[in-house]
Amino acid sequence: MINPFCISAVFRDEASNYAGGFICQISPTLNPTMVELLALRDDVYWVVQRNLPQIIVKSDSLQVVQAIGSLKQGSSHMDLLVEDIRASLRIFEDSQVCYVCRTTNVAAHFVAKLAISYTSNFCWFEEPPNLMVETLLESV
């Protein structure tokens, strides 16, 4: 059996306090950049649904961060996904997409690894799962 890719997000408020998160398993047939773009799109949708005025996305995929910041337009599946993300980001009063080193993106990767052991997708708010508390505290 092929393991699915897992996308995850950890959300923090303006004071860097934990605000929520999600995990989701997706098809392993996608390339890693497409997986990162899908994760970013889901992150942005999650924040849009909560009517928050700003978003700062931190990704350890330099290629994704550069694609979102680029003025290039195209018609490939990846280009259309990038344009969808850009359109969603324009909803916010303030939005940023920043690159962070993989070693500093600890909480999101920990959550993605957790997703492999779950058979369904899930979200949580305010209180993180007990397994994550220590990792969240270390990654502030």
Map out the domains of the chain with their CATH numbers: 5-138 (3.30.420.10)
pTM of the model: 0.74
pLDDT at 84 over 90: yes
Q: Which range is least confidently modeled, 7-21, 73-87, 91-105? A: 7-21
| pLDDT for residue 1 is more than 50 | no
In Å, how far are 6, 49, 59, 88, 101 from 127, measured between CA atoms?
Answer: 21, 19, 23, 27, 26
Tokens of 33: 């950049």
Beta-sheet pairing, 54-59 with 122-125: unpaired
* pLDDT value of residue 135: 65
